[in-house]
Amino acid sequence: MSTLTIPANGAEIQQVGEVKYLVARLDEHKTCSDYLLELRKGRPIVIPASKRGHMTGLLKKESIYTHHQTAPGGQWVTFLPCEKREFQP
């Protein structure tokens, strides 16, 4: 049986059996620029919820498309890169 491992930096998607997990090394001291670099490389990120609004503005400005979800407890937000899509008004 495979087990999950904590990545050296950032976050990655790991699969155990048929289930995919987002595993992240949480770092409250990274800057939004660091997170943008990760997303540009196609990697998922996990950020503190306090940076969510600022990150959303930067993503829009940089035209980086993501799906996001708040982690349980509301303290962390995951952003997963995705294809360009149209937004409903």
What's residue 87's pLDDT?
Answer: 61
pLDDT, tens digit, for every residue of 49-65?
888 899 989 998 988 88
CA distance 46 to 77: 6
Residue-wise pLDDT tens digits, 17-46: 899 888 888 777 788 888 899 899 988 888
Q: What would the mean pLDDT of 3-25 be, rounded to a whole number?
A: 86
Indicate whether this model's pTM tops 0.75: no
Length of the chain: 89
Specify the pLDDT at position 10: 79
Q: Where are the domains of the chain?
A: 11-81
Q: Under a CB-based contact definition with an 8 Å cutoff, are residues 35 and 52 in contact?
A: no
